[in-house]
Structure 1
Amino acid sequence: MLSRNFNLSDLTVVMQGAVGTDSASRSELIGNIAATRRALPGATLILSTWVGSGAQIDWPVDHVVESDDPGELPNFKYNSPGVMNNVNRQIVSSRAGLESVKTRYAIKMRTDCRFDGTGFLDAFLARDNGETANNRIVVPHLFSVDPRVFEQMPFHLSDWFQFGETGKLRDLWCAPPMAYEDATYYDTHAHASWSSRFDRRYRARFAPEQHVWTHYAGRAGYVCPGFHNDVSYTVLNSHDRFLSREVQVVDVAHSGFVLPRYGWALRSGFQRFNCLNAHDWSFLEAHLSGRTTDAGTQMTGFRRLRAKRFLSALASCTEPLAPMLTLPLMKPLVSRFLKGVDAWSARTAQY
């Protein structure tokens, strides 16, 4: 059972990813390490990167783990040259870093981000009721996708950071490498008939996040999708049960986690509904567990659910206009509209 007086000495942070060769990238990483140490004093820090890159500087961490670079796969989206498929790199370096952890709890995070607070830990501890310990994996809401709105991708949970029991994280990151055939799946297979413009951008059978999470969920007995936008009734129900039992979603803004290059996502009206936030998760978990919640949680949950259903229906009706709506000149207008829907729904929920 987890004590509310969480001892940070029982936590290891695995910072996983590439180490830039230029001085700016190295300075950024050193800054991220220093900030995370200040936020989590007493925790062990491990840098997990590639052979040759970690040993070139005396990094201010407790341990450096180096792995052979398995290389990248072809882009997982069509017409997106900057969207690289590094899932096999993630798997190799995450697994190696986690295998070096000696503490009960761990965080797996990227090297281009940092922690400046412990909001994620506060949320985790709040779920420990003194009788049943919280053994879920904590993830940020960006980009934990709601498969019932815009991007129809079950089991697409964020890889920005994960926190939980070390054994759980090791199980999560023991996924097999993504095969080349899966990385180029839609080169030889047609997209499902219900695929939206967003769905048809995918070249890989699964998004990198889905590849990792579906293997984890499948081993636990959950029904997983056969391809990235497999939104059958059985899969969606399984996805909901998995979320409510195995995962806890926290809002990035209140988590203490900072990823500077994705500040735009926090401001995005699209991502406000495309992702599952902490309110969505709490509402779903309470509904499936039969747990009673306060009136505010219920009202917020119903408000979000109503708005998402409206936007899902609207997206289906306006699918032929999608190429125009995603033009650079239209994106600010669409974002303002989505934020307006959020504000409207919040007002109407009060009556």
Structure 2
Amino acid sequence: MKNLSIVFQGPILRGATVCMSAVSNIRRTREAFPEAEIIVSSWRCTPGTEQYFRTLMAEMRVHVVLSYDPGPLVNYDESGQWVSNLNRQLVSSAAGLRCATRPLSLKLRTDTCLSGRGVVPLLQRYVLDSEGPGREMHYSVFKKRVINASWFARDARGSLPFLFHPGDIFLAGLTEDVRLFFSAPLADESLFSPARRPGLWCAWRFAPEQWFWIHAVRSVTGKMEYEGNFAYAREKVEASERYYLANFVPFESGKLDLYWKKYWRRYPLRGLFSLYTHSRWLRLAEVYSGKREHPLTLPDRILTYVWRIGYILKVALLCLPIIRRLAKSLFVHR
């Protein structure tokens, strides 16, 4: 696909040496997209390691962009240390996308790959041909919709009701739109503001995806639509849904030919009934277009509510610092 730039963002080292798993992911994607422009955007390393990596990438006709590492954001509470790599992701994603020269761009991570070309017809249909439900112009931030992997694209009424939380693992659309998503300012320690409400506990005021998205919205509308994870008023839920409908279209990983080994090792069933699948997205579009409720909506809501009860109980336990320390040791994977 000659009009596509593929930007890999993330670490290229494992310890002090080049991560061959990342190299394998890039190679596999190059085999699926022989004509695409491929860019790897990561952080500076030792001259010898950098040269070795550049040589490997040159063999695959892959451009390399290496930035200075802004480091993690670190803060503490009674349970110990909390770490966010928001700025690392922002700097490397933006640097890679600035180098993209094709009209369409696809952003993914160095620990993921594309095993096939499933995204190609979706780009044609939903981006170039603007297929899908009509967009509410009042909520339109991007020029065209951006294709979004369902992974971590949180449903505002799901079992984990984060608002303004599109997925950031995979985005594909017009290059200018994907760049806009990663145009937020760098965050500082003020991001750390533990938020708690029934069914949701978060150490950070905004997750990275939320930080990127609300600042993209702000750059176009001039409004800060969301104050952080402690806010859950009905009008905020509706705004979150309408902005997502107008600007993203989610698909499951199999439809995109997207492979992420870490997901299947670490995350299966975590966040069940909390994500925007394509079918949930279509049903949401029907709600806002005034159509009759889909027959699957009610059983889906019941299952979501049952699953959410478990999260409500979990949040009650997370109020205890000793439980938070245990949860971090078991479930926080970087």
TM range (shorter): 0.7 to 0.9
Structure 1 gaps, min length 5: 1-7, 332-351
Q: 1:173 aligned to 169, 182, 196, which one?
A: 182
CA apart distance, 1:148 = 2.4
The letter of the residue matching 2:185 is P
Matched, 1:13 2:6: yes
Structure 2 gaps, min length 5: 133-142
State the match for 1:141 in structure 2. Answer: 150
State the match for 1:273 in structure 2. Answer: 273
Closer, same or farther: CA 116–131 of 1 in aligned 2, 3 Å? closer
Distance in 2 between the 1:272 and 1:13 partners?
29
State the match for 2:72 in structure 1. Answer: 72
Closer, same or farther: CA 28–319 of 1 in aligned 2, 3 Å? closer
Closer, same or farther: CA 273–135 of 1 in aligned 2, 3 Å? same
State the match for 2:44 in structure 1. Answer: 51
Asked whether the equivalents of residues 139 and 250 of structure 1 are also in contact (C-alpha less than 8 Å), the reply is: yes
Q: 1:307 aligned to 285, 303, 306, which one?
A: 303
Asked whether the equivalents of residues 200 and 311 of structure 2 are also in contact (C-alpha less than 8 Å), the reply is: no
Q: Please state whether the residue corresponding to 2:203 is helix, strand or coil.
A: coil
State the match for 2:198 in structure 1. Answer: 196
Asked whether the equivalents of residues 10 and 42 of structure 2 are also in contact (C-alpha less than 8 Å), the reply is: yes
Asked whether the equivalents of residues 152 and 229 of structure 1 are also in contact (C-alpha less than 8 Å), the reply is: no
Asked whether the equivalents of residues 137 and 247 of structure 1 are also in contact (C-alpha less than 8 Å), the reply is: yes
Distance in 1 between the 2:249 and 2:78 partners?
32
Asked whether the equivalents of residues 9 and 40 of structure 2 are also in contact (C-alpha less than 8 Å), the reply is: yes
Distance in 2 between the 1:318 and 1:177 partners?
31
The letter of the residue matching 2:104 is Y
Asked whether the equivalents of residues 75 and 203 of structure 1 are also in contact (C-alpha less than 8 Å), the reply is: no
Asked whether the equivalents of residues 130 and 145 of structure 2 are also in contact (C-alpha less than 8 Å), the reply is: no
Q: 1:156 aligned to 147, 165, 181, which one?
A: 165
CA apart distance, 1:322 = 7.7
CA apart distance, 1:121 = 3.4
Closer, same or farther: CA 78–146 of 1 in aligned 2, 3 Å? farther
String of CA shifts for 1:89-136, please: whole Å, max 9, x gaps: 111111111011110000111111101023333334343695769921
Q: Please state whether the residue corresponding to 1:107 is helix, strand or coil.
A: strand
Alignment of 1:1-351 (within 5 A): 8-22=1-15, 26-52=19-45, 54-57=50-53, 58=55, 59=57, 60-74=60-74, 79=79, 84-127=83-126, 130=129, 135-182=144-191, 184-186=192-194, 191=195, 195-196=197-198, 198-199=200-201, 202-221=202-221, 224-264=225-265, 267-268=268-269, 270-289=270-289, 298-312=294-308, 316=312
Identical amino acids, percent of aligned pairs:
22
Distance in 1 between the 2:314 and 2:9 partners?
40
String of CA shifts for 1:260-294, please: whole Å, max 9, x gaps: 011146631x42312221211121123324579xx
State the match for 2:138 in structure 1. Answer: none
Asked whether the equivalents of residues 77 and 204 of structure 1 are also in contact (C-alpha less than 8 Å), the reply is: no
Distance in 2 between the 1:264 and 1:203 partners?
24
Distance in 1 between the 2:155 and 2:78 partners?
22
Higher strand share: 2
The letter of the residue matching 1:111 is T
Task: Provide the alpha-carbon RMSD of the alignment.
Answer: 3.3
